[in-house]
Amino acid sequence: MHRISYGGTSVDITAGAGMPEVLGWGRYSAARAAAEQNQESYRAGLPPATLDNHPPIGLFAEESLGFPGTPGISGHRPDGTGWSPRFVRTEERVDDASASFVLEDQIAGLQLVATVAVGSGAVVTIDAVLTNIGSTPYVVHSLAPSLPVPAHAAEVLTLSGRWCMEFQMNRRPFIGSTVVENRRGRTSHENSPVVFVGTSGFAESDGHVWGAQLAWSGNYRVVAERLGDGRCYLQLGELLLPGELELAPGEAYDMPRVVATCSDNGLTAASGRFLSHVRQSVRPAELGPRPVNVNTWEAVYFDHELDRLLELADAAADVGAERFVLDDGWFGGRRDDTKGLGDWHVSPDAWPTGLSPLIDRVRRHGMVFGIWFEPEMVNPNSDLYRFHPDWTLTTDGYDPVLGRHQLVLDFGRPEVRENMFDQISRILTDHDIGYVKWDMNRSIVQGSGASGRAGVHRHVVGLYELLDDLREAHPDVEWESCSSGGARIDAGILARTDRVWTSDSNDAADRQLIQRGASLLVPPEMMGAHIGPPASHTTGRVHSLGFRAATALFGHMGIEWNLLSMAPEDRTALKEVIALYKEHRHLLHTGVPVRLDHPEESLVAHGVVDAELTEGLFSVASIATRSSSALTPLVIPWLSNKKIYRVEPLFIGGEKPGVDFAPPGWMDGGAEMTGGFLGGHGLSLPVFWPERALLVRVTEVSS
């Protein structure tokens, strides 16, 4: 047996001649080491009326050995052979933290190189490359690794949703198969490529939890399955459409990375390892404090009138914004959403003097200028489409399905990527632009590439290649991924962007749940969170500035509110909010994010603590009418039991929730409490109205 380990997490993998099998993985302990003298100690007994050999859950599970679940690798050659391969291990390289295996099936004509590693954030990563070593083409159906989880895992948690309500946590019993599939061509609003399983009733700070995610921005399949013999496993891989991926002799398929995590003290610790991995290894560079964004979309929409935008830039600087982003409508014939996509040149109609007057005003205020692109899309009513109608992901002979009056360009074609690179680079080179908001506003439907085969896989690979090339050519530009909000958020896109737009909804009540779910995957400094106008444009609900600001505080804060329509008192209050964000953003963007449990379902509680447990900032939000007349205390288990902390309310936006209802004593000037008290009894909470938020600041007094 091989054991690899790093940071307290270890993986045990079979030795031998065949497909490697992960025997166990998780937090390493001396007791586990003593109990596991050899790999046979993992084997269950054989039940009656079954095969003579116990079919393993191989790293890539093999149907050819009798595995009864979903095979980890499948495909076929033109004559139908090679559909059920069985690999032999020809080489292995094992060191302290990684194990790499070369496997071949000479009959099927396939070579598989698989690597399992434990690295930054103490996560487990799985990578694999499948090569066709035969003499005829090989069509890949799937390549998806499997990780076993203990049979006492009793519940499954996945993320699902819709536009403007992404990342909703869903739990169900771990019985049979839970399958999450995405065929949207982008990561999607409806599902996320992640799954967690845990012991019965696992909570944010309690229970054993195992989870895995796929670093891929296209179609995918995620499986959590309990087999008939009681064994359980997770399996994740790209969902390949029929005939989509054919390997010519000598050609290889590089599978999207699988990243796995585990914890013996709840969901927050497990997902926290995902976030640490993103911070340490995935994202392109250290981000530093996140500047306050002002985005123009909800302020002006397509009405790009220069004097008004100049005034808006002045107002943005006045409230303390540090980045000004010009959204849709600046290019080509784009006066509404029916035309112009694909023609990425400054519109002489909307901008007769060019973008320079606005950029110069923004830069004089010391702000960074940002701009919106939607490079993957094209309107049929555009010059690009009129010249190159064949550049779209459509299928010959069929009327294409439009979405938002647009089609998807085929980034699997080098000439399309070259055209987009040239157009975008020209804008970035000719103007002082430090930020790009990259949008992608529709699903891919019946998207055939140049060969006539399904083209989603090659489009996503091409997207990654184009983003990598643009980042290399323009290293001082930051990039945001937006896809009608949160429809493309995954570890694959996080590796190539500095920020994601979490949702098109700025409704603070909905955002509390959206951001809670997204926090399983995205560090707060990469999670775009804006203060919208009092009335949300997606729900119509009206919220106070205090509630909207407290919600946006725990992300990369921005403003999506027409500053020119504000009352003077609102602008003054907004200045105070932005100043508060700047005061605390170092903690918010470098600290450890935590989610807190509370028995009242109408309460959403979370926060950030620093690595030394000397300070923390927490939010308690009421998102609905309570079921009880008073609230039980909020337990905060993420502080040091041995330290004494000063606990005080932090009022934001001029709002003091709960002070009108005989608040607990600590809210009157603060109080000192031990970390053990806060993690045991908990912090007494005031009674406050629905759709309000209370901020709590905790600072160490002494040890």
- 675: phi > 0 → left, psi -120 to 50 → alpha, else beta; which? alpha
Pick from 99, 146, 144, 92: which is nearest to 118 by CA? 99
**β-strands 499-501, 252-254 pairing:** unpaired
Q: What is the sign, positive or negative, of the torsion defined by CA atoms of 310, 316, 319, 322? A: negative
Measure the CA–CA gap between 354 and 52, rounded to whole angstroms: 76
The H or E element that residue 702 is part of is strand 692-702
Helix axes 545-553, 508-518, angle to 10 degrees: 10
Catalytic residue selected from 328, 410, 504, 510: 504
Residue of 12, 439, 507, 510 marked active site: 439
Q: How many residues does the chain have?
A: 703
Tokens of 313: 């830039």
Do 593 and 275 touch, CB atoms closer than 8 A?
A: yes
| Pairing of the two strands 155-162 and 165-173 | antiparallel
Active site annotation includes 439: yes
Q: Do 440 and 376 form a contact (C-beta atoms < 8 A)? A: yes
**Alpha carbon of residue 157 to chain centroid:** 16
- The answer to whether 236 touches 213, Cβ cutoff 8 Å, is yes
Burial 340-366 (b: 16+ CB within 10 A, else e): bbbbbebbeebbeeebeebbebbbeee
Main-chain phi, psi angles of 518, to 5 degrees: -65, -25
- Is 95 a catalytic site residue? no
> Please, which residues bridge with residue 142 across strands?
74
The H or E element that residue 310 is part of is: helix 306-319
Chain centre distance of CA 48? 45
From CA 84, how far away is CA 86, in angstroms rounded? 7
Alpha helices in 278-334 (DSSP H): 297-300, 306-319
Amino acid letter at 503? Answer: S
Alpha helices, DSSP H, located in 213-278: 267-277
Listed in sequence order, the residues at least 6 apart from 305 whose beta carbon sits closer than 8 Å to its beta carbon are: none
Contacts of residue 103, Cβ cutoff 8 Å, sequence gap at least 6? 19, 87, 88, 89, 90, 111, 112, 113, 114
Enumerate the active-site residues.
439, 504
